[in-house]
Amino acid sequence: MSDELVLDELDKKLASAFPGRVVRKDLVKKLKVGFNIPVYVLEYLLGKYCSTTDEEEIRVGLEQVKSAIAERIVRGDQSELVKARLQRSGSMKLIDLVTVTFDEKVQGGKFWAKLATCGLDRVHIDPENVHKHERLLTGGIWANIELAYDDSMTGDGVIRPFVLHRLAPIQIASANYEEFLEGRRQFSRDEWMDVLLRSMGYEPTNADFTFRRKLLFLLRLVPMVEKNYNMIELGPRGTGKSYVYREISPYVILLSGGQGGVPDLFGWKNRRDKPGLVLKFDMVAFDEVAGSNFKTESDKQMYKGYMEQGSFSRGDDKGTLSADAGIVFNGNLDGDVETTARISHLFNALPEAVRNDMAFHDRWHAYLPGWEMPKMQPDYFTAHLGFIADFIAEIFHTQLRQRNFTDSYDRFYNLGSHVEERDRRAIARTTSGLIKLIHPDGICTKTEMQEYLAFAIELRRRVKEQLKRMGGIEYSKVNLSYIDRQDGQETFISCKELGSTQLIPEGQLNPGDIFTVGFDSSEGRYSLYRLQVTATPGGSRFSVVGAGGKGIKESARMAYDYLKANAKRIGIERDVTAYDINIQVMSLMQGKDANDLGVAFYIAMISAILSRPIGGSLVVLGQMSLHGVLSRVEGLGDKLRIAMDAGAKRVMFPTENRRDFAELPAELIDKLQIDFYSDPGQAAFKALAEK
């Protein structure tokens, strides 16, 4: 790959809006090889010397970065060499991860520094430096440091000659929030999402990065901006589950294998110098979580208590401690996900100690479907500009985590009756986190809010569906939904890999109540609809409310006009125009429009006028013209599967579809009673329940 970058419009806009805060992400990859240091340290150096679009300045800056790395970053096998050079020269300048512990056993107390890369510990450090940078005591700080050698210095009764004289943290000098918001306002929603993805190292213009996939990638950042956010991601290997947690922020720690026991997370009992990772970091991520081990039941209970309440007690004199670190589990889930979802549950990849623990899993705010993430390949990584990692990490840590947008959806939507309190908190936090990332000023449109809310509900429903498979009736309320505060329309959210659940109740419905499946051509998907019609004596008024797209309204109107013209021919002696017809259309699977629901509208209107209910567990498919001519049902197999998964036991469709019958899967034919009709009148006769 050439060092020369052809800037696109987004690069130019980003460099103009955030001068000195951006860096070419391909340069990071080149320098990363051979150095065991985080990306945010490399990006600090690149931001210092190469935060420009001028190729000559970048060339010179790269040489300075390489020189700084060669001179100041020590490999792990060079610790003895560092000691020898310090003894000979008296001082050295290095870049290293510095952590500090406090020894209260020494009279007056004593701070000791430890340098992770060069392997030095028991290094003297001025208390003023520690008090100025308290993170030295919690997670440590990557810093430019100056070490000195002084063999007159002692500790523990022996010579301790190493002294840390100067410490300058590697960090952006400032992360001004108002400037950040002002810069954000210069970008559209889609442009800003692409900026964030490039800052993560990905190239969002790749065709594989659909809008949904972009949301899934950004979801990995939500625990960094939303306090006490718990997420699980299970999926195939090679999809980059742990990449972002390892590289983008010093406030995040990634644990591998069996690491992450209670002492690691919550601190060692009666040890003030080991406070626990949840107190040091914004989030703790577990990689390859199948190797994790909960040694005792009390260990698991402590995890559950913390994930629920954000507090814990070690049973010592510290009492109850609060923390706001999120917990993220990453693990590998192989095989056919849809088959696993049907015959078992999607927590099977977890350790045996928690695999079937429903109370443990109920603490997840979101289940990211890792099987939808692409396996990483070279052209998924960007060569364009993105934010310097340490800059965006500071914005996340010092600004966005302190804000709360959990009630933002209330402006437009309510949550449905199946949403319990734990579900509400999960949905609200996911929605809040996405808004913080994409709309940090908290301002977004109703349509954008609907997208984030539906996405958040799906992620929580995926958790609930697994609990239902494990716990049955106790977790039966899985039909999570949202309700538009303006028109009262309720939308139910499903998980693609699970199909629909029992949306169609058993037994007879009220007159005028019917289910159908239509195709939304604008969205490219099928959706289950529930039509509810009332017919009251009045002045021939006709109205359609709810999911009232153009196609839906035209289908309803054609069915109504045909009924008015042909009522007597099919045996209805009443004057149809003497009734007010009111139709409520409910989309149960996010469908926004459909132009193939005519026959269901026709039957529902007859049922309402005659006050005769429609047969139970029935779905009616088909469209009709203004003259009652039936259309062949397209996508019959898909529509039947949606009906079956939703709970239908009987489905009606036109005789013209008979030739499709032989091609239907045996599963559908075995589980559904199929009825044909040759005209709208016959359809109504077959659909109405017997008196």
Q: What are 413-466's pLDDT values in tens digits?
A: 999 988 999 999 999 999 999 999 999 999 999 999 999 999 999 999 999 988
Task: Compute and round to an integer the Cα radius of gyration of the chain.
Answer: 31
Domain presence at residue 37: no
pTM of the model: 0.67
The arithmetic mean of pLDDT across residues 15-26, rounded, is 88
**Residue 484 burial (10 A CB sphere; 0-12, 13-18, 19+):** middle
CA 451 to chain centre: 12
CA 456 to chain centre: 7
Contact (CB, 8 A) for 279 and 267: yes
Domain presence at residue 155: yes
Q: Say yes or no to pLDDT of 294 above 70.
A: no
Domain presence at residue 510: yes
Contact (CB, 8 A) for 368 and 233: yes
Q: Tell me the C-alpha distance between 616 and 507, whole Å.
A: 5
Among the ranges given (254-258, 500-504, 564-568, 625-629), the one the predictor scored with the smallest mean pLDDT: 500-504
Crossing angle of the two packed helices 9-17 and 189-200, in degrees rounded to 10 = 90
Contact (CB, 8 A) for 124 and 153: yes
Q: Say yes or no to pLDDT of 344 above 80.
A: no
pLDDT at position 568: 86
| Tokens representing residue 602 in the block | 């026709």
- Which residue range is the domain that position 160 belongs to? 76-169
The CATH number of the domain where 584 resides is what? Answer: 3.30.230.10
Three-state secondary structure call for residue 690: coil
The arithmetic mean of pLDDT across residues 325-330, rounded, is 93
Three-state secondary structure call for residue 636: helix
- Find tokens 């100025």 and name the residue: 132
Encode pLDDT of 304-313 as tens digits. Answer: 889 999 988 8
Q: Say yes or no to pLDDT of 273 above 70.
A: no
The arithmetic mean of pLDDT across residues 20-26, rounded, is 84
Q: Tell me the C-alpha distance between 273 and 135, whole Å.
A: 13
Q: Say yes or no to pLDDT of 502 above 80.
A: no
In 3D, which of 267, 263, 283 has the Cα closest to residue 275? 267
The arithmetic mean of pLDDT across residues 279-293, rounded, is 79
In 3D, which of 437, 507, 18 has the Cα closest to residue 244? 437
Percent of the chain predicted with pLDDT > 70: 91
Sign of CA pseudo-dihedral 32, 36, 39, 45: negative
Domain presence at residue 111: yes
Q: Say yes or no to pLDDT of 76 above 70.
A: no
Encode pLDDT of 354-388 as tens digits. Answer: 888 899 999 999 999 999 999 999 899 998 999 98
Q: Say yes or no to pLDDT of 549 above 60.
A: yes
Q: Tell me the C-alpha distance between 75 and 603, whole Å.
A: 77
Could you tell me the CA-to-CA distances from 464 to 331, 363, 365, 423, 468 in Å, in that order?
19, 10, 10, 9, 6
User: How many CB atoms within 10 Å of residue 423?
Assistant: 22
Domain presence at residue 660: yes
Q: Say yes or no to pLDDT of 316 above 80.
A: no
- The mean pLDDT value of the chain amounts to 86
What residues have CB less than 8 Å from 116, skipping those under 6 apart? 96, 97, 98, 99, 140
Q: Which of 169, 195, 211 is the last residue of a domain?
A: 169
Domain presence at residue 106: yes
| Tokens representing residue 72 in the block | 């100041």
Encode pLDDT of 146-189 as tens digits. Answer: 999 998 988 877 889 999 988 988 765 567 899 999 999 999 99
Encode pLDDT of 513-539 as tens digits. Answer: 999 999 988 766 788 899 999 999 987
pLDDT band with cut points at 50, 70 and 90 for residue 597 = very high
pLDDT at position 367: 97
The arithmetic mean of pLDDT across residues 217-228, rounded, is 97
pLDDT at position 638: 80
Among the ranges given (44-53, 66-75, 548-557), the one the predictor scored with the smallest mean pLDDT: 44-53
pLDDT band with cut points at 50, 70 and 90 for residue 500 = very low
Q: Which of 169, 203, 220 is the last residue of a domain?
A: 169
Domain presence at residue 109: yes
Q: Tell me the C-alpha distance between 469 and 461, whole Å.
A: 12
Q: Say yes or no to pLDDT of 2 above 50.
A: no
| Tokens representing residue 541 in the block | 């008024």
pLDDT band with cut points at 50, 70 and 90 for residue 552 = very high
Q: Say yes or no to pLDDT of 665 above 80.
A: no
Q: Tell me the C-alpha distance between 252 and 275, whole Å.
A: 16
pLDDT band with cut points at 50, 70 and 90 for residue 45 = confident
- Find tokens 């952006």 and name the residue: 172
| Tokens representing residue 677 in the block | 């009709």
Crossing angle of the two packed helices 421-438 and 189-200, in degrees rounded to 10 = 90
pLDDT band with cut points at 50, 70 and 90 for residue 133 = confident
Q: Which of 107, 141, 169 is the last residue of a domain?
A: 169
Query: Which H/E stretch holds residue 407?
Result: none
Domain count, the chain: 2
Three-state secondary structure call for residue 229: coil
Among the ranges given (27-41, 597-611, 630-644), the one the predictor scored with the smallest mean pLDDT: 27-41
Three-state secondary structure call for residue 146: strand
Alpha helix stretches (DSSP H) within 485-597: 550-566
Could you tell me the CA-to-CA distances from 303 to 67, 316, 318, 476, 600 in Å, in that order?
45, 17, 18, 25, 51
In 3D, which of 36, 102, 98, 108 has the Cα closest to residue 73? 36
Domain presence at residue 206: no
